[in-house]
Amino acid sequence: MRQVLDRVGDKWSLLLIAVVEAGPLRYTDLQRQVPGISQRMLTLTLRQLREDGLITRTTYA
């Protein structure tokens, strides 16, 4: 339970979850829609959200 609250309480996690709620986006589209987030923080946050099972990643050829 503590891990869930830590993840949801994270500054960038809530913003990213709100943005991807509308539908799938490419990495650069996410970066444009979340002003002020660095490339490194976006990557780390997306990775953590995926590991926690809150988002999924689909790779297209």
Helix boundaries (H) for 1-61: 2-8, 11-20, 27-33, 39-51
pLDDT on residue 7: 65
Single-letter amino acid, residue 51:
E
pLDDT in tens, 16-37: 988 999 888 999 999 999 989 9
pLDDT on residue 41: 93
pLDDT, average across residues 44-48: 92
| Token duo for residue 55 | 């988002």
pLDDT at 6 over 90: no
pLDDT on residue 52: 84
